[in-house]
Amino acid sequence: MAMEAAEIERLIREGLPGASVEIRDLAGDGNHYAATVVSESFRGKSRVQQHQMVYAALKGQMGGILHALALQTNVPD
C-alpha cells in the first residue's frame, strides 16, 4: 500500500510546525518521493540531525509504508 504525498506533507508539517514542505512523486508510483523541507528548527543542526528530525516526524512510516524518500533539508535564508 502506497503512502499519499499529502499524508507525508501533513506528518512533516505536524512534526515541524512552520516548515516549508514540498513533496514530489519521483516515479509516479506512490512509492518513491522526494521532499524538500525548510525549517528554522534545523538551524545549528547537522544534516544528519535534520534528516533524523524529518524521519521522527514521519512516525515510523519510513522504510515501511513509505518505501523511499530522497530528502533535502535547509534552514530559511
pLDDT in tens, the chain (77 residues): 678 899 999 999 999 999 999 999 998 877 788 999 999 999 999 999 999 999 999 987 776 777 788 999 999 99
What's the whole-model pTM score?
Answer: 0.89
Q: Which residues contact 40 (CB under 8 A, 6 or more apart)?
A: 18, 75, 76
- Residue 47, helix vs strand vs coil: helix
Domains in the chain, please, with CATH? 5-74 (3.30.300.90)
CA 76 to chain CA mean position, Å: 16
Q: How far apart are CA 67 and CA 41, in angstroms?
A: 26
